[in-house]
Structure 1
Amino acid sequence: MKLAPTLAAAALGAAVAVRAARSRYRRFLHPDGRSFTGDLEVWGTLEPTGAELIDRPGRHPVTLRISKGVGTRPGFPDILGVAVRVHGPVAGRRHDLLFSTAGAGRVLRHVPVPRRGFDTTYGSILPYRSGSGRTFHLGVHADPDGRPLGRTLESVVTAARHDGAGLLLTLADGAAVEAVGRLRFGAVLSPAQDAALAFDPVRNVPADLHPTGLVHGSRAPAYRLSQRWRGARPATANPAAVARTDLHR
Protein backbone atom coordinates (compact mmCIF):
# COMPACT_ATOMS: atom_id res chain seq x y z
CA MET A 1 0.00 0.00 0.00
CA LYS A 2 1.31 3.42 -0.92
CA LEU A 3 1.43 5.71 2.08
CA ALA A 4 0.86 9.06 0.33
CA PRO A 5 -2.55 8.22 -1.24
CA THR A 6 -3.66 6.67 2.05
CA LEU A 7 -2.70 9.78 4.01
CA ALA A 8 -4.37 12.03 1.43
CA ALA A 9 -7.59 10.02 1.63
CA ALA A 10 -7.49 10.11 5.42
CA ALA A 11 -6.94 13.87 5.41
CA LEU A 12 -9.86 14.36 3.00
CA GLY A 13 -12.10 12.16 5.13
CA ALA A 14 -11.13 14.08 8.24
CA ALA A 15 -11.83 17.41 6.55
CA VAL A 16 -15.27 16.24 5.43
CA ALA A 17 -16.02 14.92 8.92
CA VAL A 18 -15.04 18.24 10.51
CA ARG A 19 -17.15 20.21 8.03
CA ALA A 20 -20.12 17.89 8.63
CA ALA A 21 -19.79 18.31 12.38
CA ARG A 22 -19.63 22.10 12.07
CA SER A 23 -22.63 22.10 9.74
CA ARG A 24 -24.72 21.01 12.72
CA TYR A 25 -24.97 24.74 13.43
CA ARG A 26 -24.06 26.35 10.09
CA ARG A 27 -24.25 25.62 6.37
CA PHE A 28 -22.25 22.67 5.03
CA LEU A 29 -21.64 24.54 1.76
CA HIS A 30 -21.31 28.31 1.44
CA PRO A 31 -20.91 28.72 5.21
CA ASP A 32 -19.44 32.23 5.02
CA GLY A 33 -21.72 34.83 3.53
CA ARG A 34 -23.52 38.13 3.90
CA SER A 35 -27.19 38.73 3.18
CA PHE A 36 -28.95 41.89 2.04
CA THR A 37 -32.29 43.34 1.13
CA GLY A 38 -32.49 44.58 -2.44
CA ASP A 39 -34.55 44.69 -5.59
CA LEU A 40 -34.59 43.15 -9.03
CA GLU A 41 -35.49 45.33 -11.99
CA VAL A 42 -36.48 43.26 -15.02
CA TRP A 43 -36.69 44.91 -18.44
CA GLY A 44 -37.61 41.78 -20.40
CA THR A 45 -36.10 39.85 -23.30
CA LEU A 46 -35.88 40.32 -27.05
CA GLU A 47 -37.91 37.15 -27.55
CA PRO A 48 -40.47 35.86 -25.00
CA THR A 49 -39.24 32.93 -22.93
CA GLY A 50 -42.52 31.68 -21.46
CA ALA A 51 -41.46 32.74 -17.93
CA GLU A 52 -43.43 35.64 -16.45
CA LEU A 53 -40.60 36.77 -14.18
CA ILE A 54 -38.31 37.33 -17.17
CA ASP A 55 -40.82 38.34 -19.85
CA ARG A 56 -42.76 40.98 -17.90
CA PRO A 57 -40.87 44.21 -17.11
CA GLY A 58 -41.14 45.23 -13.48
CA ARG A 59 -39.40 45.64 -10.15
CA HIS A 60 -39.47 43.08 -7.34
CA PRO A 61 -38.12 43.10 -3.77
CA VAL A 62 -35.44 40.47 -3.21
CA THR A 63 -33.21 38.99 -0.56
CA LEU A 64 -29.59 38.56 -1.74
CA ARG A 65 -26.86 36.39 -0.25
CA ILE A 66 -23.20 36.55 -1.35
CA SER A 67 -21.04 33.69 -0.10
CA LYS A 68 -17.90 31.58 -0.31
CA GLY A 69 -18.52 27.92 -1.12
CA VAL A 70 -15.75 26.35 0.96
CA GLY A 71 -14.98 29.26 3.25
CA THR A 72 -11.36 29.99 2.34
CA ARG A 73 -9.53 32.93 3.89
CA PRO A 74 -10.56 36.45 2.74
CA GLY A 75 -9.24 37.19 -0.75
CA PHE A 76 -8.31 33.56 -1.49
CA PRO A 77 -9.89 31.71 -4.46
CA ASP A 78 -13.15 29.89 -3.78
CA ILE A 79 -16.35 28.84 -5.51
CA LEU A 80 -18.30 32.03 -4.86
CA GLY A 81 -22.07 32.08 -4.74
CA VAL A 82 -25.03 34.39 -5.24
CA ALA A 83 -28.44 33.37 -3.91
CA VAL A 84 -31.49 35.44 -4.84
CA ARG A 85 -34.95 35.17 -3.33
CA VAL A 86 -37.50 37.07 -5.40
CA HIS A 87 -40.53 38.02 -3.31
CA GLY A 88 -43.52 37.82 -5.62
CA PRO A 89 -46.63 39.98 -5.72
CA VAL A 90 -48.63 37.27 -3.91
CA ALA A 91 -47.92 37.18 -0.15
CA GLY A 92 -45.72 34.27 0.81
CA ARG A 93 -44.72 33.38 -2.76
CA ARG A 94 -40.97 32.97 -3.24
CA HIS A 95 -38.71 32.28 -6.18
CA ASP A 96 -35.20 31.14 -5.22
CA LEU A 97 -32.36 31.35 -7.76
CA LEU A 98 -28.87 30.04 -6.93
CA PHE A 99 -25.69 30.80 -8.86
CA SER A 100 -22.03 29.81 -8.54
CA THR A 101 -18.91 31.20 -10.19
CA ALA A 102 -18.54 29.47 -13.53
CA GLY A 103 -16.70 29.70 -16.80
CA ALA A 104 -17.90 31.58 -19.89
CA GLY A 105 -19.18 30.09 -23.13
CA ARG A 106 -21.44 27.19 -24.05
CA VAL A 107 -19.20 24.53 -22.49
CA LEU A 108 -17.53 26.21 -19.54
CA ARG A 109 -20.78 27.70 -18.19
CA HIS A 110 -21.48 24.16 -16.89
CA VAL A 111 -18.25 24.13 -14.86
CA PRO A 112 -17.86 25.71 -11.40
CA VAL A 113 -14.67 27.81 -11.35
CA PRO A 114 -12.90 29.26 -8.26
CA ARG A 115 -12.56 33.04 -8.28
CA ARG A 116 -10.78 35.56 -6.06
CA GLY A 117 -13.16 38.48 -6.45
CA PHE A 118 -16.92 38.96 -6.48
CA ASP A 119 -16.94 41.08 -9.66
CA THR A 120 -17.19 38.10 -11.96
CA THR A 121 -19.50 35.66 -13.77
CA TYR A 122 -21.93 33.38 -11.93
CA GLY A 123 -24.16 30.76 -13.54
CA SER A 124 -26.95 28.33 -12.76
CA ILE A 125 -24.57 25.54 -13.99
CA LEU A 126 -27.57 23.46 -15.13
CA PRO A 127 -30.50 24.64 -17.28
CA TYR A 128 -33.92 26.07 -16.47
CA ARG A 129 -37.16 25.27 -18.29
CA SER A 130 -39.90 27.82 -18.90
CA GLY A 131 -43.65 27.39 -19.29
CA SER A 132 -43.27 27.22 -23.07
CA GLY A 133 -40.83 24.31 -22.79
CA ARG A 134 -37.82 26.41 -23.71
CA THR A 135 -34.57 25.65 -21.85
CA PHE A 136 -31.77 28.11 -21.12
CA HIS A 137 -29.22 29.03 -18.46
CA LEU A 138 -29.56 31.92 -16.05
CA GLY A 139 -26.65 33.85 -14.59
CA VAL A 140 -25.52 37.00 -12.89
CA HIS A 141 -22.58 39.10 -14.04
CA ALA A 142 -20.61 41.99 -12.67
CA ASP A 143 -22.31 45.26 -13.54
CA PRO A 144 -19.81 47.40 -15.52
CA ASP A 145 -21.68 50.52 -14.40
CA GLY A 146 -21.89 49.48 -10.75
CA ARG A 147 -19.66 49.95 -7.74
CA PRO A 148 -16.96 47.22 -7.55
CA LEU A 149 -17.74 44.50 -4.99
CA GLY A 150 -14.10 43.66 -4.29
CA ARG A 151 -12.47 40.46 -3.06
CA THR A 152 -13.87 39.99 0.44
CA LEU A 153 -17.28 39.70 2.03
CA GLU A 154 -16.62 42.89 3.95
CA SER A 155 -15.80 44.75 0.73
CA VAL A 156 -19.20 43.64 -0.61
CA VAL A 157 -20.84 45.05 2.54
CA THR A 158 -18.97 48.33 2.03
CA ALA A 159 -20.07 48.53 -1.61
CA ALA A 160 -23.68 47.77 -0.68
CA ARG A 161 -23.72 50.72 1.72
CA HIS A 162 -23.28 53.05 -1.26
CA ASP A 163 -25.71 53.52 -4.10
CA GLY A 164 -24.79 51.75 -7.31
CA ALA A 165 -23.71 48.29 -6.07
CA GLY A 166 -25.37 45.56 -8.08
CA LEU A 167 -25.22 42.69 -10.55
CA LEU A 168 -26.78 42.01 -13.95
CA LEU A 169 -29.23 39.13 -14.42
CA THR A 170 -28.52 37.31 -17.69
CA LEU A 171 -30.04 34.62 -19.87
CA ALA A 172 -27.81 32.37 -21.98
CA ASP A 173 -29.28 30.40 -24.87
CA GLY A 174 -26.64 28.69 -26.95
CA ALA A 175 -23.83 31.14 -27.63
CA ALA A 176 -26.02 34.21 -27.04
CA VAL A 177 -26.01 35.91 -23.62
CA GLU A 178 -28.61 38.61 -22.95
CA ALA A 179 -28.88 40.90 -19.93
CA VAL A 180 -32.52 40.87 -18.82
CA GLY A 181 -32.40 42.76 -15.53
CA ARG A 182 -30.37 44.29 -12.72
CA LEU A 183 -30.03 43.28 -9.05
CA ARG A 184 -29.39 46.11 -6.59
CA PHE A 185 -28.07 45.68 -3.07
CA GLY A 186 -29.94 47.21 -0.15
CA ALA A 187 -29.35 47.03 3.60
CA VAL A 188 -27.19 44.31 5.11
CA LEU A 189 -29.09 41.78 7.23
CA SER A 190 -28.03 40.69 10.70
CA PRO A 191 -26.03 37.47 11.25
CA ALA A 192 -29.13 35.89 12.80
CA GLN A 193 -31.21 36.75 9.73
CA ASP A 194 -28.48 35.38 7.47
CA ALA A 195 -28.32 32.12 9.42
CA ALA A 196 -32.09 31.66 9.26
CA LEU A 197 -32.26 31.91 5.47
CA ALA A 198 -32.94 28.58 3.77
CA PHE A 199 -32.91 28.78 -0.02
CA ASP A 200 -34.47 25.97 -2.07
CA PRO A 201 -34.23 26.43 -5.87
CA VAL A 202 -36.24 23.24 -6.51
CA ARG A 203 -39.31 23.85 -4.31
CA ASN A 204 -39.42 27.65 -4.17
CA VAL A 205 -40.12 28.14 -7.88
CA PRO A 206 -43.08 28.93 -10.13
CA ALA A 207 -44.23 26.35 -12.64
CA ASP A 208 -43.12 28.51 -15.58
CA LEU A 209 -39.45 28.88 -14.53
CA HIS A 210 -37.82 25.96 -12.79
CA PRO A 211 -34.57 23.96 -12.85
CA THR A 212 -34.76 20.79 -14.89
CA GLY A 213 -33.00 17.44 -14.88
CA LEU A 214 -32.19 14.53 -12.61
CA VAL A 215 -29.12 16.23 -11.15
CA HIS A 216 -31.26 19.11 -9.93
CA GLY A 217 -33.89 16.67 -8.71
CA SER A 218 -31.35 14.64 -6.75
CA ARG A 219 -30.42 17.79 -4.82
CA ALA A 220 -33.98 18.26 -3.56
CA PRO A 221 -33.70 15.94 -0.51
CA ALA A 222 -30.22 17.26 0.25
CA TYR A 223 -31.53 20.81 0.73
CA ARG A 224 -34.14 19.70 3.26
CA LEU A 225 -31.78 17.41 5.17
CA SER A 226 -29.01 19.98 5.47
CA GLN A 227 -31.43 22.73 6.53
CA ARG A 228 -33.05 20.57 9.19
CA TRP A 229 -29.62 19.46 10.38
CA ARG A 230 -28.48 23.03 11.05
CA GLY A 231 -31.80 24.02 12.60
CA ALA A 232 -33.15 26.18 9.77
CA ARG A 233 -36.75 26.01 8.65
CA PRO A 234 -36.87 24.30 5.22
CA ALA A 235 -39.13 25.23 2.35
CA THR A 236 -42.72 24.03 2.35
CA ALA A 237 -43.06 20.58 0.78
CA ASN A 238 -43.76 20.83 -2.95
CA PRO A 239 -43.89 17.34 -4.51
CA ALA A 240 -45.18 18.71 -7.81
CA ALA A 241 -42.13 20.97 -8.18
CA VAL A 242 -39.73 18.12 -7.38
CA ALA A 243 -41.45 15.79 -9.86
CA ARG A 244 -41.48 18.51 -12.53
CA THR A 245 -37.73 18.94 -12.15
CA ASP A 246 -37.03 15.19 -12.16
CA LEU A 247 -39.17 14.56 -15.26
CA HIS A 248 -37.86 17.54 -17.28
CA ARG A 249 -41.37 19.03 -17.47
Structure 2
Amino acid sequence: MRLARALVTAGVIAAGVRVVRSRTRRFLHPDGRSFTGELEIWGLGTPTGAALLDRPGRHPVTLRISKGAGTPPGYPDVLGVALRIHGPVAGHRTDLLFSTAGRGRWLRHVPVPRPSFDSRYGTILPYRTGTGAKLHLSIQPDLDGRALGRTLESVTAAAVDDGARLMLAAADGDGPTRLVGRVRFGRALPATTDAALAFDPVRNVPADLHPTGFIHGSRAFAYRIGQRWRGARPAAPDPAAVARTNAHR
Protein backbone atom coordinates (compact mmCIF):
# COMPACT_ATOMS: atom_id res chain seq x y z
CA MET A 1 0.00 0.00 0.00
CA ARG A 2 2.79 2.40 0.90
CA LEU A 3 4.57 1.59 -2.37
CA ALA A 4 1.38 2.26 -4.34
CA ARG A 5 0.87 5.60 -2.60
CA ALA A 6 4.48 6.53 -3.22
CA LEU A 7 4.14 5.74 -6.93
CA VAL A 8 0.91 7.74 -7.21
CA THR A 9 2.48 10.66 -5.37
CA ALA A 10 5.53 10.56 -7.61
CA GLY A 11 3.29 10.50 -10.68
CA VAL A 12 1.27 13.49 -9.48
CA ILE A 13 4.45 15.45 -8.70
CA ALA A 14 5.92 14.59 -12.13
CA ALA A 15 2.73 15.70 -13.86
CA GLY A 16 2.68 18.91 -11.85
CA VAL A 17 6.27 19.68 -12.77
CA ARG A 18 5.46 19.02 -16.43
CA VAL A 19 2.47 21.37 -16.33
CA VAL A 20 4.54 24.12 -14.69
CA ARG A 21 7.32 23.71 -17.24
CA SER A 22 4.76 23.89 -20.06
CA ARG A 23 4.37 27.58 -19.25
CA THR A 24 7.55 28.11 -21.25
CA ARG A 25 7.70 25.03 -23.49
CA ARG A 26 5.41 22.46 -25.08
CA PHE A 27 3.67 19.92 -22.84
CA LEU A 28 4.00 17.28 -25.59
CA HIS A 29 6.96 17.06 -27.95
CA PRO A 30 8.96 19.55 -25.85
CA ASP A 31 12.34 18.67 -27.37
CA GLY A 32 12.71 19.33 -31.06
CA ARG A 33 14.60 20.95 -33.91
CA SER A 34 13.03 23.01 -36.68
CA PHE A 35 14.19 23.57 -40.26
CA THR A 36 13.24 25.29 -43.44
CA GLY A 37 12.69 22.94 -46.35
CA GLU A 38 10.91 22.10 -49.57
CA LEU A 39 8.18 19.63 -50.42
CA GLU A 40 8.17 18.23 -53.94
CA ILE A 41 4.86 16.65 -54.96
CA TRP A 42 4.49 14.30 -57.90
CA GLY A 43 1.17 12.74 -56.85
CA LEU A 44 -0.31 9.27 -57.15
CA GLY A 45 -1.13 9.42 -60.86
CA THR A 46 -4.84 9.16 -60.14
CA PRO A 47 -6.81 12.03 -58.54
CA THR A 48 -7.33 11.88 -54.76
CA GLY A 49 -9.60 14.92 -54.45
CA ALA A 50 -6.93 16.92 -52.60
CA ALA A 51 -5.30 19.72 -54.63
CA LEU A 52 -2.10 19.57 -52.59
CA LEU A 53 -1.53 15.93 -53.57
CA ASP A 54 -2.98 16.04 -57.08
CA ARG A 55 -1.02 19.00 -58.47
CA PRO A 56 2.69 18.33 -59.06
CA GLY A 57 4.85 21.14 -57.77
CA ARG A 58 7.27 22.40 -55.15
CA HIS A 59 6.27 24.18 -51.95
CA PRO A 60 8.36 25.78 -49.17
CA VAL A 61 7.86 24.11 -45.80
CA THR A 62 8.72 24.49 -42.14
CA LEU A 63 9.72 21.15 -40.66
CA ARG A 64 9.99 20.14 -37.00
CA ILE A 65 11.46 16.87 -35.68
CA SER A 66 10.73 16.11 -32.03
CA LYS A 67 10.50 13.69 -29.11
CA GLY A 68 7.04 13.24 -27.63
CA ALA A 69 7.92 12.80 -23.96
CA GLY A 70 11.40 14.29 -24.07
CA THR A 71 13.34 11.18 -23.02
CA PRO A 72 17.16 11.41 -22.83
CA PRO A 73 19.09 11.45 -26.13
CA GLY A 74 19.11 8.05 -27.82
CA TYR A 75 16.31 6.60 -25.67
CA PRO A 76 13.06 5.34 -27.27
CA ASP A 77 10.19 7.82 -27.45
CA VAL A 78 7.11 8.52 -29.56
CA LEU A 79 8.91 10.61 -32.17
CA GLY A 80 7.23 13.29 -34.25
CA VAL A 81 7.39 15.09 -37.57
CA ALA A 82 5.44 18.35 -37.95
CA LEU A 83 5.19 19.65 -41.50
CA ARG A 84 3.89 23.13 -42.32
CA ILE A 85 3.36 23.52 -46.07
CA HIS A 86 3.27 27.12 -47.32
CA GLY A 87 0.93 26.93 -50.33
CA PRO A 88 -0.03 25.89 -52.94
CA VAL A 89 -2.46 28.83 -52.52
CA ALA A 90 -0.62 32.04 -51.62
CA GLY A 91 -1.19 33.03 -48.00
CA HIS A 92 -2.49 29.60 -46.99
CA ARG A 93 -0.69 26.92 -45.03
CA THR A 94 -1.30 23.27 -44.24
CA ASP A 95 -0.12 21.68 -40.97
CA LEU A 96 0.36 17.90 -41.07
CA LEU A 97 1.47 16.13 -37.86
CA PHE A 98 2.96 12.63 -37.81
CA SER A 99 4.02 10.30 -34.97
CA THR A 100 5.93 7.03 -34.99
CA ALA A 101 3.32 4.31 -35.36
CA GLY A 102 2.92 0.65 -36.12
CA ARG A 103 2.45 -0.91 -39.54
CA GLY A 104 -0.57 -2.59 -41.05
CA ARG A 105 -4.28 -1.88 -41.13
CA TRP A 106 -4.78 -1.68 -37.35
CA LEU A 107 -1.36 -0.91 -35.87
CA ARG A 108 -0.95 2.23 -37.97
CA HIS A 109 -3.51 3.80 -35.61
CA VAL A 110 -1.26 3.17 -32.58
CA PRO A 111 1.61 5.50 -31.54
CA VAL A 112 4.74 3.41 -30.95
CA PRO A 113 8.02 4.49 -29.24
CA ARG A 114 11.06 4.18 -31.48
CA PRO A 115 14.78 4.61 -30.69
CA SER A 116 15.73 6.12 -34.07
CA PHE A 117 14.41 8.99 -36.18
CA ASP A 118 14.87 6.72 -39.21
CA SER A 119 11.36 5.34 -38.66
CA ARG A 120 7.91 5.38 -40.17
CA TYR A 121 5.55 8.14 -39.01
CA GLY A 122 1.79 8.31 -39.54
CA THR A 123 -1.12 10.69 -38.95
CA ILE A 124 -2.67 7.93 -36.76
CA LEU A 125 -6.20 8.67 -38.07
CA PRO A 126 -7.32 9.26 -41.67
CA TYR A 127 -7.97 12.42 -43.65
CA ARG A 128 -10.92 13.17 -45.95
CA THR A 129 -10.47 14.74 -49.37
CA GLY A 130 -12.81 16.96 -51.37
CA THR A 131 -14.42 13.91 -52.97
CA GLY A 132 -15.03 12.23 -49.59
CA ALA A 133 -12.22 9.72 -50.14
CA LYS A 134 -10.32 8.53 -47.06
CA LEU A 135 -6.53 8.84 -47.06
CA HIS A 136 -3.94 7.63 -44.54
CA LEU A 137 -0.86 9.86 -44.72
CA SER A 138 2.60 8.85 -43.60
CA ILE A 139 6.25 9.94 -43.63
CA GLN A 140 9.23 7.63 -44.00
CA PRO A 141 13.00 8.02 -44.48
CA ASP A 142 14.43 8.47 -47.96
CA LEU A 143 16.81 5.55 -48.28
CA ASP A 144 18.99 7.59 -50.64
CA GLY A 145 19.43 10.35 -48.04
CA ARG A 146 21.56 10.50 -44.94
CA ALA A 147 20.48 8.57 -41.87
CA LEU A 148 18.80 10.80 -39.28
CA GLY A 149 20.19 8.82 -36.36
CA ARG A 150 19.02 8.52 -32.76
CA THR A 151 19.39 12.08 -31.45
CA LEU A 152 18.21 15.55 -32.39
CA GLU A 153 21.83 16.52 -32.85
CA SER A 154 22.33 13.73 -35.40
CA VAL A 155 19.22 14.94 -37.27
CA THR A 156 20.68 18.44 -37.44
CA ALA A 157 24.00 17.06 -38.69
CA ALA A 158 22.24 15.00 -41.38
CA ALA A 159 20.40 18.07 -42.64
CA VAL A 160 23.61 19.90 -43.56
CA ASP A 161 24.13 20.40 -47.32
CA ASP A 162 20.77 18.92 -48.34
CA GLY A 163 21.67 15.55 -46.84
CA ALA A 164 18.41 14.70 -45.04
CA ARG A 165 15.18 13.86 -46.83
CA LEU A 166 11.85 12.27 -46.00
CA MET A 167 9.25 10.65 -48.25
CA LEU A 168 5.56 11.59 -48.06
CA ALA A 169 3.18 8.71 -48.73
CA ALA A 170 -0.55 8.10 -48.87
CA ALA A 171 -2.82 5.05 -48.76
CA ASP A 172 -6.32 5.23 -50.25
CA GLY A 173 -8.56 3.67 -47.58
CA ASP A 174 -7.20 0.21 -46.87
CA GLY A 175 -5.18 0.14 -50.08
CA PRO A 176 -1.40 -0.01 -50.42
CA THR A 177 0.82 2.88 -49.33
CA ARG A 178 2.31 4.81 -52.26
CA LEU A 179 4.82 7.63 -52.36
CA VAL A 180 3.46 11.04 -53.37
CA GLY A 181 6.39 13.37 -52.68
CA ARG A 182 9.70 14.15 -51.04
CA VAL A 183 10.63 16.58 -48.25
CA ARG A 184 14.10 18.10 -48.34
CA PHE A 185 15.56 19.62 -45.17
CA GLY A 186 16.88 23.17 -45.42
CA ARG A 187 18.70 25.23 -42.82
CA ALA A 188 18.20 24.79 -39.08
CA LEU A 189 16.04 27.49 -37.47
CA PRO A 190 16.98 29.30 -34.22
CA ALA A 191 15.69 27.93 -30.92
CA THR A 192 13.53 31.03 -30.47
CA THR A 193 11.78 30.33 -33.79
CA ASP A 194 11.28 26.69 -32.84
CA ALA A 195 9.73 27.71 -29.51
CA ALA A 196 7.31 30.13 -31.19
CA LEU A 197 5.99 27.65 -33.77
CA ALA A 198 2.34 26.75 -33.13
CA PHE A 199 1.01 23.97 -35.35
CA ASP A 200 -2.72 23.36 -35.67
CA PRO A 201 -3.70 20.21 -37.64
CA VAL A 202 -7.42 21.08 -37.52
CA ARG A 203 -7.59 24.77 -38.45
CA ASN A 204 -4.51 25.02 -40.68
CA VAL A 205 -5.76 22.65 -43.38
CA PRO A 206 -7.67 23.07 -46.65
CA ALA A 207 -11.28 21.92 -46.95
CA ASP A 208 -10.24 19.24 -49.46
CA LEU A 209 -7.70 17.58 -47.11
CA HIS A 210 -8.84 17.64 -43.51
CA PRO A 211 -8.59 15.29 -40.49
CA THR A 212 -11.66 13.50 -39.19
CA GLY A 213 -12.92 12.01 -35.95
CA PHE A 214 -13.18 12.69 -32.23
CA ILE A 215 -9.48 12.30 -31.47
CA HIS A 216 -8.53 14.84 -34.12
CA GLY A 217 -11.39 17.03 -32.91
CA SER A 218 -10.06 16.99 -29.35
CA ARG A 219 -6.81 18.42 -30.70
CA ALA A 220 -8.69 21.56 -31.75
CA PHE A 221 -9.24 22.38 -28.07
CA ALA A 222 -6.04 20.93 -26.60
CA TYR A 223 -3.62 22.58 -29.01
CA ARG A 224 -5.23 25.99 -28.64
CA ILE A 225 -5.20 25.87 -24.84
CA GLY A 226 -1.63 24.59 -24.73
CA GLN A 227 -0.37 27.25 -27.12
CA ARG A 228 -2.01 30.07 -25.18
CA TRP A 229 -0.65 28.62 -21.93
CA ARG A 230 2.96 28.75 -23.16
CA GLY A 231 2.54 32.17 -24.77
CA ALA A 232 2.54 31.08 -28.43
CA ARG A 233 0.15 32.60 -30.96
CA PRO A 234 -2.50 30.03 -31.98
CA ALA A 235 -4.16 29.76 -35.37
CA ALA A 236 -7.07 32.04 -36.20
CA PRO A 237 -10.46 30.73 -34.98
CA ASP A 238 -12.22 28.55 -37.54
CA PRO A 239 -15.43 27.00 -36.12
CA ALA A 240 -16.30 25.49 -39.51
CA ALA A 241 -13.03 23.54 -39.63
CA VAL A 242 -13.56 22.23 -36.08
CA ALA A 243 -17.16 21.20 -36.86
CA ARG A 244 -16.06 19.53 -40.09
CA THR A 245 -13.48 17.43 -38.25
CA ASN A 246 -15.88 16.43 -35.46
CA ALA A 247 -18.56 15.49 -38.02
CA HIS A 248 -16.22 12.76 -39.34
CA ARG A 249 -16.92 13.60 -42.97
Q: What TM-score comes out, normalization by structure 2 length?
A: 0.97
Aligned to 2:147: 148
How far apart, CA to CA, are the structure 2 residues paired with 1:141 and 1:179? 9
Contact 1:213 1:246 in 2 (8 A): yes
Q: For 2:128, give the aligned amino acid.
A: R
User: In structure 2, what is the equivalent of residue 211 of structure 1?
Assistant: 211
Aligned to 1:234: 234
Secondary structure of the structure 1 residue equivalent to 2:9: helix
SS at match of 1:139: strand
SS at match of 1:187: strand
Structure 2 gaps of 5+ residues are none
Q: Which amino acid aligns with 1:158?
A: A
- Give the structure 1 partner of residue 23 of structure 2: 24
Residue in 1 that maps onto 2:222? 222
Q: Which residues in structure 2 correspond to 1:50-61 (within 5 Å)?
A: 50-61=49-60
CA distance, structure 2, for counterparts of residue 129 and residue 4 of structure 1? 48
The correspondence of residues 182-193 of structure 1 with structure 2, limited to 5 A, is: 182-193=182-193
Identical amino acids, percent of aligned pairs = 67
Partner of 1:100: 99
Q: Pairwise CA RMSD of aligned residues?
A: 1.0
1:11 maps to 2:13: no
For residues 158 and 16 of structure 1, the distance between their equivalents in structure 2, rounded to whole angstroms, comes to: 33
Query: Is contact 2:146–2:165 with CA below 8 Å preserved after alignment?
Result: yes
Unaligned runs of 5+ in 1: none
Kindly provide the amino acid, as one letter, of the partner of residue 183 in structure 2: L
Distance in structure 1 (CA, Å) of the matches to 2:9 and 2:171: 41
- Paired residue type of 1:212: T
Q: Deviations over 1:57-110 (max 9, x none)?
A: 111000000000010110000010000000014443110000000011111100
One-letter code of the match for 1:99? F
Moved over 3 A (4+): none
Q: Which residue of 2 aligns with 1:177?
A: 177
Paired with 1:175 and 1:5, the residues of 2 have a C-alpha distance of 46
Whether the 8 Å CA contact 2:52–2:88 is kept in 1: the answer is no
- For 2:227 and 2:79, locate their aligned partners in 1 and report how far apart those are by CA, in whole Å: 20
- TM-score normalized with structure 1 length: 0.97
Cα distance, 1:214 vs structure 2: 1.4
Whole-angstrom CA distance in 1 between matches of 2:179 and 2:19: 38
Higher deviation after alignment, 174-183 or 70-79: 174-183
Instruction: Between 148-157 and 171-180, report the one with greater CA deviation.
Output: 171-180
User: 1:194-237 deviations in whole A, cap 9, x for unaligned?
Assistant: 01100000000000000001111122111110000000000011
Q: Number of residues paired by the alignment?
A: 248
Q: What is the CA distance between 1:175 and its match in structure 2?
A: 4.5
Matched letter for residue 111 of structure 1: V
Determine the C-alpha separation between the residues in 1 that align with 2:219 and 2:186: 30
1:105 touches 1:175 (CA, 8 Å); kept in 2? Answer: no
Match of 2:127 in 1: 128
- Distance (whole Å) between structure 1 residues aligned to residue 175 and residue 8 of structure 2: 40
Q: Which residue of 1 aligns with 2:247?
A: 247
